Amino acid sequence: MPRPMTQDEHKKGYIICDCGKFAHIWNSNVLPLLPKNYNGELCPECNLWMCLVTHLELVIKSQGG
């Protein structure tokens, strides 16, 4: 069931899927921080095109998370 985005999630530019393995990115400032030529993957739980959380590690660290 979808839930409202938190202010913190909006500020970060992404939200982690309930499965914990993928994230939806909507802030274009996050995209250049991802690995070069990475175009995302299909989350098997929600069937949306997402980014692996492991690829967000540098983004998360740069935001102090």
**Each residue's pLDDT tens digit, 9-64:** 888 888 888 888 999 888 888 888 888 888 899 988 888 889 999 888 777 777 66
- The confidence score (pLDDT) of residue 7 equals 93
Instruction: Kindly state whether residue 46 falls inside one of the protein's structural domains.
Output: yes
Domains identified in the chain, total number: 1
- Alpha-carbon distance of 15 to 9, in angstroms, equals 6
> At a CB cut-off of 8 Å and minimum separation 6, what does 63 contact?
12
Instruction: Kindly state whether residue 45 falls inside one of the protein's structural domains.
Output: yes
Instruction: Kindly state whether residue 2 falls inside one of the protein's structural domains.
Output: no
Instruction: Kindly state whether residue 57 falls inside one of the protein's structural domains.
Output: yes
Q: Which structural domain range is residue 52 located in?
A: 11-29+38-62
